[in-house]
Amino acid sequence: MANVVVVGAQWGDEGKGKIVDWLSERADVVARFQGGHNAGHTLVIDGTIYKLNALPSGVVRGGKLSVIGNGVVLDPWHLVKEIETIRGQGVEVTPETLMVAENTPLILPFHGELDRAREGQNAMAKIGTTGRGIGPCYEDKVGRRVIRVADLADDATLELRVDRALVHHNALRAGLGLPEIDRDALLASLREIAPEILKYAAPVWKVLNEKRRAGNRILFEGAQGALLDIDFGTYPFVTSSNTIAGQAATGTGIGPGSIDFVLGIVKAYTTRVGEGPFPTELDDADGERLGTRGREFGTVTGRKRRCGWFDAVLVRQTCATSGMNGIALTKLDVLDGFETLKVCVGYDLDGERLDHLPTAADQQARCTPVYEELPGWQESTEGARSWADLPANAIKYVRRVEELIDCPVALLSTSPERDDTILVTDPFAD
Ligand code: GDP
Ligand code: IMO
Ligand code: MG
């Protein structure tokens, strides 16, 4: 039995939601293991659009267990709203179909306020955060002052945890010119939301290990992308969690040896939301065309995504740091109609040729891409469901991408619709 990890191989929004939904037909459990509701995963099923932030993308299929692991940071009020919205679309969510790890940290309203207050300070470099409190909540987790799901079950513990957090946050807020937190109001709203969350609470590590032993297939759904990883991303323009495949183990409590296949989701070009380096970014008509054809607007914030050519150097690097066994190449259809396509195959740094992105921020900023040109295709690939439907130049492009990133294509996606997908290698195959 195979367990599969899906991770974004670029700066997020590669199409993880669509691919996880498609693969979840073959899985019994779908588990999120990091990030929070900064994620925006889009599924399109027979023309109906589902937008998920905190819920795993497997939730839309009946008969699967959806899991929110301890590596996630969870806004309880957002989760309740998201469940209501998805129920309104006819999806069933019950304690039998959704589990939340008892050791999951909670995002509280002051985390989002802190995100936004810091971003508003002119003296500090802007990250372009979604402002949803993800970073400040992870800081509290590592600082050993976060409130976790299990703390909601006992009032005395909850008060103790809140007081511990407030000592730190009120001091910080005074420095930022923010008002003190209203302790009683915060406790009251936590007491009110507690039963709504506790009904889904479970020892996820135990459940997943039992499921694994029983031969169930687990699909781990990553959020963000490997270039937003706190260690291996374009620091400090990153998110506050490990987004690479190794996190699937620590973010759920399953051993790393239980992971059989790592699937990287790769967009056929490159996009980025928010600030930070982007060597192949296009500021011209080609960039506009990618953005328009690809409908590149953020799911969470509505911001226009920055667009550029495919960067094989970066994806080769992320295939290495996540140990990808294969990739799903998405949005190939967006490249239809280009005369010529460019692919970045190296960088020039002060006259020297590099085969990877250097770590130092000043060097990253000075890297200029070295391009290889490939012929485009005029035929439509939109909705293609087999290799035979693809024009020869599209196949050449895919083959060249595989060579350059040193990783084979397992899946190809040719539209937002669930079934417009070409299977090359089944990640769940034994
Ligand atoms: P995620 O965050 O990785 O799940 O990706 P998002 O949902 O934020 O963004 C990907 C967008 O591309 C969504 O609007 C998808 O519906 C759409 N999409 C996914 N795969 C394809 C594809 O193969 N072709 C096209 N044209 N759109 C796609
Ligand atoms: P999915 O799962 C794209 C970006 C933000 C910002 C930086 C830090 O949909 O691929 P944060 O809110 O984490 O403090 O923001 O990371 N970012 C994403 N970009 N897709 C995402 O998620 C993202 N989640 C965060 O734009 O630059
Ligand atoms: Mg997204």
* Domains identified in the chain and CATH numbers: 4-102+200-258 (3.40.440.10), 109-197 (1.10.300.10), 266-423 (3.90.170.10)
Nearest to 131 by CA among 245, 16, 239: 239
Mean pLDDT, all residues of the chain: 96
Among residues 28, 37, 41, 140, the one annotated as catalytic is: 41
pLDDT, position 430: 72
Q: How far apart are CA 293 and CA 285, in angstroms?
A: 12
pLDDT for the residue numbered 298: 86
Distances (CA, A) of 167 to 148, 157, 160, 161: 17, 16, 11, 10
Q: Is 21 a catalytic residue?
A: no
Burial profile 52-81: b = 16 or more Cβ within 10 angstroms, e = fewer = bbbbbbbbbbeebbbbbbbbbbbbbbbbee
Q: Which pLDDT value is given to residue 123?
A: 53
According to the model, what pLDDT value does residue 124 have? 60
Which atom of ligand 2 is nearest to 300's Cα?
A: 9
pLDDT of residue 256: 96
Best residue among 130, 229, 238, 242 to mutate for probing ligand 2's pocket (most ligand atoms within 8 Å of CB) is 130
pTM of the model: 0.97
Question: Which whole number is the average pLDDT over 364-375?
Answer: 97
Whether 3 and 217 have beta carbons less than 8 Å apart is answered as yes
Give the confidence band of 64 by pLDDT, cuts at 50, 70, 90.
very high
pLDDT (tens digit per residue) in 269-298: 999 999 999 999 999 999 999 999 999 998
pLDDT at 368 over 60: yes
Is the backbone peptide bond immediately before 236 cis, with ω within 30 degrees of 0?
Answer: yes
Alpha-carbon distance 238 to 124, whole Å?
15
The band of 126, judged by pLDDT with boundaries at 50, 70 and 90, is confident
Q: What is the mean pLDDT of residues 213-239?
A: 97
pLDDT digits (tens, 9 = 90+) for 134-168: 999 999 999 999 999 999 999 999 999 999 999 99
Pocket of ligand 2 from Cβ distances under 6 Å: 8, 11-13, 38-41, 127-130, 132, 134-135, 223-225, 228, 239, 273-274, 299
